[in-house]
A and B are shown apart, each in its own frame.
Chain A
Amino acid sequence: MGIEEKLPSGVLLTTVEGVAGYMRKASFWPATFGLACCAIEMMTTGGPKYDLARFGMEVFRASPRQADLMIVAGRVSQKMAPVLRQIYDQMPDPKFVLAMGVCASSGGMFNNYAIVQGVDHVVPVDMYLPGCPPRPEMLIDAILKLHDQVQHAKLGKNRLDEIVEAEATALNALPTSEMRGMLR
């Protein structure tokens, strides 16, 4: 990418990571991907009572080419999935996806032929937000957690190390089907 990828790991890279993280999170521009009921809650979150503008996010870019964050708000049907992927591909890096609502996270109450059971079948998701629909405060909480994640994202060599480590943990982790114990 840019010069920040080529810095050697050390104090300088950490400082640059901090600054770049701050810049990225302070002015997230969401792409409009409102589909169903969650879209209405997303619109109210941008409305006057739960104001997204205080996080720098009131500018919902119509063009994905100008957006960082895709909030998939609503149920993704089989017909819509290729469109979703197309919009995601059109976004420039760094891009993030927030699956808002249970339908986007896992198919929700619609466990049937018409709905993609979780948009992570189609795009990589950074933040899952349950709720049907999630309250605006919940959406803001998810966005702030995503901000946190972006703020502490690593660059360059640190990032590559992190990827290797994450892959190792994932390969050695206990699969869900092997987990035993109380179902609580």
Chain B
Amino acid sequence: MTPTEPTEPQGPQPAVEKPAVRQSPENLPPGKDVVAPSSTTEGGETTIEQPAVGVRTGMFGVPDTGDTSGYGGLVKPVVFPGAAQRPYGGWFDLVADGLDGLIEKVVIHRGEITFHVHRDHLLEVAGKLRDDPALRFEFCSGVSGVHYPEDTGRELHAVYHLLSMTFNRRIRLEVSCPDADPHIPSIVAAYPTSDWHERETFDFFGIIFDGHPALTRIQMPDDWPGHPQRKDYPLGGIPVEYKGGTIPPPDQRRSYN
């Protein structure tokens, strides 16, 4: 072994530029498209690239204040289950065939199928679902509104649950509309049962159902301003005082995100 000559202690080597390790979604700054981990499960439930609907920052704290108590740097995207690919499995394909060309997206999650439909096609889809002898979805369970404030351009969703008593099947229809133009056609003509459900969704979210015979407020007083179940409407509670201590209302308390 030849002894190496003692060399002078060398200074720090200049850093070698290496490409950054592929970051996990938690560490990416908000607003970027995030790739959800793709996995394949049975029944055609494949999640593919799905842009984040919103972002969850921080672990806990009081929202909308300067509360820095809880891991404020934590950033996590909110990623909903992605679109499924054909074949869907089971009777899902039969129903999708009946609605060919009218569906925007199909999501299969936990054994339930959701058809995302554009609002312009909603009436046609509803008519087909009810009248087509292979589909026979005679029963509409109701309309549910959901407000996704961070899903720009598609903030207000109306979700219809349909049941086929003949074939014992359940599907879900989801229609979205932007805040700026909250109009969705009314399916009262096809399913009269959605009369009060659409009124309620209008009352709570402000979605205007075109073609509804009498779209008025149903739960709130007739002259109530605002649409209470929207995310930008405050919960409206009052602080509770007890022997010198005050508890703020639930939406202003420190809570986990």
Contacts and interface: CB of A to CB of B under 8 A. Distances in A.
Direct interface between A and B, CB < 8 A: yes
Contacts of B240: 111
Contacts of B37: none
Nearest to B221: A79
B220 interface: yes
A112 B243 contact: no
B189 to A, nearest CB: 30
A2 interface: no
A54 to B, nearest CB: 37
A111 B243 contact: no
Contacts of B238: 107, 111, 117
Contact of B243 (A78, A79, A107, A179): A179
A115 to B, nearest CB: 9
A113 B220 CA distance: 10
A78 B237 CA distance: 13
A16 B74 CA distance: 73
A38 B51 CA distance: 47
Contact of B235 (A112, A176, A179, A181): A112
Interface of A: 78-79, 107, 111-114, 117, 176-181, 183
B236 A113 contact: yes
A107 B224 CA distance: 20
Given A79-B221, A113-B228, A114-B228, A176 B243 contact: yes
Given A79-B220, A177-B244, A113 B234 contact: yes
Interface in B231-250: 233-238, 240-245, 249-250
23 contacts: A79-B220, A111-B240, A111-B249, A111-B250, A112-B236, A112-B250, A113-B228, A113-B233, A113-B235, A113-B236, A113-B237, A114-B220, A114-B228, A114-B236, A176-B241, A176-B242, A176-B243, A177-B241, A177-B244, A179-B243, A180-B244, A181-B243, A181-B244
B244 A183 contact: yes
- Using C-beta atoms within 8 Å of the partner chain, give the interface range for chain B: 10 to 19
Contacts of A181: 243-244
A177 B221 CA distance: 34
Interface in B123-162: none
Contacts of B237: 111-113
A182 B220 CA distance: 41
A112 B237 CA distance: 4
Nearest to A118: B238
